[in-house]
Structure 1
Amino acid sequence: MQTLEKQMDTRALRNAYGKYATGVTVVTTLDDRGAPAGLTVSSFNSVSLEPALVLWSLRKESYTARAFQAADGFAINVLAHEQQLLSDRFATPTADKFSQVPYAISENQLPLIDGAIAQFECIKRNEFDGGDHWIFIGEVISFTLNEGNPLIFHAGKYATAV
């Protein structure tokens, strides 16, 4: 008897997951050398208000996995609709994603990207094995909220919220 996993068409499953529209974020941290690291993430969710907890997931094979596993915290930058090129930049494996990207290091020593419509600075509370991903849970220690429309991802492409 075959397991369900072997019977499942993973491309079709990914397409089905893609029917759920998500916001687009860039999650950032500082690596062990103090250099900024980050990547585009659509797997961001609020978990709890008290305590203020959020989660996101990272593919285990990601070139940034080591930086996030070693870090004590991370920042989640919710991108504005106008930041599609920034999303594309952080979704591509390149040596220095932060060159020519306006950002600042916060008082909590986390990279915050200019123009984000919301930012959550978090202390890493937990990290779990989630199949081919790591699941990170962070406690929000600071946040900012700005005006603007969100960048949305749906069915494999960017979309507009109406």
Structure 2
Amino acid sequence: MLTSMDSQCSGPDAARFRAVLGHFPSGITAITSRDAQDRPVGMTVASFTSVSLAPPLVAFLPGKTSSTFPVIAERGTFCVNILATDQERICRALSVSGGDKFADVTWRPGPNRDPVVDGVVAWIGCTIEAVHEAGDHYIVIGRVDDLDADTTASPLLFFRSRYNHLTSA
């Protein structure tokens, strides 16, 4: 049986929690969509995972303070762009608040017309199935509508608070 934990329970402070979990490498994704005026919107997210094969579901976890996520939620669709090692610039561009985040980002319309960033390792077009509150974040479940990958590209990774890439042994 699953139980809910009290959000006020004691535990490690935020800095220690972040430092320790920073020892788990993660890929960097650009979650993209369109606003009510059909302009591209996006945000970077490291907390992304597959959820289910049948039906095909994925999840990402935006912070509740995000100004971009409400726009994505209103539209109801998004595209997960798994960034490549040479796309740190795109990661930084989509991480800032305000301004035209897509000014120097080349992309094409993908499923649901959401932006697929040029040169990504893979993209996954989704429709929002559910949104759950989880502490200071949301858990967004997306039903996969379409996807594709570049089998020659390597992912941009985040590990110990720094960008990294895979190396061959």
TM over 0.5: yes
Distance 1:107 1:136 in 2: 18
Say whether 1:17 aligns with 2:21. yes
Distance 1:121 1:4 in 2: 37
- Indicate the SS of the match to 1:33: coil
Displacement after TM superposition at 1:154 (Å): 0.5
Distance 2:123 2:69 in 1: 21
**Equivalent residue letter for 1:151:** L
Q: Which segments of 5 or more consecutive residues in structure 1 lack a partner in the other structure? A: none
User: Runs of 4 or more off by more than 2 Å in structure 1?
Assistant: none
Task: Tell me what 2:33 maps to.
Answer: 29
Alignment of 1:65-144 (within 5 A): 65-144=69-148
Percentage of pairs with the same residue: 31
Task: Tell me what 1:51 maps to.
Answer: 55
CA RMSD of aligned residues (A): 1.3
Count of aligned pairs between the two proteins: 159
TM-score normalised by the chain length of structure 2: 0.89
TM-score normalised by the chain length of structure 1: 0.93
Distance 2:99 2:67 in 1: 10
Task: Tell me what 1:42 maps to.
Answer: 46
Per-residue CA shift, 1:28-72, capped at 9, x if unaligned?
011122111101110010011111100001111111121022121
